[in-house]
Amino acid sequence: MTIKLSKKPFGEEIEKRATQWLKKQGLQLISKNYLCHRGEIDIIMDDNNFLVFIEVRYRKQSNYGSPAETVTPIKQKKIRLAAEHFLQCHPQHQRKYCRFDVIAAQPGYGSDKLDFNWIKNAF
């Protein structure tokens, strides 16, 4: 990928593209970058009555592991706690089943392409 951005805008661009890709898969956006004192959730979407909390990870190379492998147990716990907070603050979503997915992004062929690996029920 040849986009030259600082780390934060680059991460935002990856999340934006992941959101667009997930919309093409039929999911509906509920929230992005949900932040509370317990943690952050990159993307929250609806997938056929499932409330999906999505962590987006990018790695330029997989020499030291895949992007999905960077979602450590500590990070998983923070995401779960943030999801609990979201549900407490948004009771309209409490009747839905919940799922935690990971979108692992890596450079694709071409200068501006990304390949996404969607891991449903990742943790």
The verdict on domain 7-119 having CATH code 3.40.50.300 is no
pLDDT tier at 1, thresholds 50, 70, 90 = very low
* Cα-only R_g, the chain: 14
25 within 8 A of 118, measured Cβ to Cβ: yes
What mean pLDDT, rounded, does the chain reach? 90
79 within 8 A of 55, measured Cβ to Cβ: yes
State yes or no: pLDDT of 4 exceeds 60.
no
Residue type for 75, please? K
Kindly state the average pLDDT of the residues 51-65.
86
Question: pLDDT for 10-39, tens place per residue?
Answer: 889 999 999 999 999 999 999 999 999 999
pLDDT of residue 23: 98
CA distance from start to end of the chain: 28
CB neighbours of residue 15 within 10 Å: 20
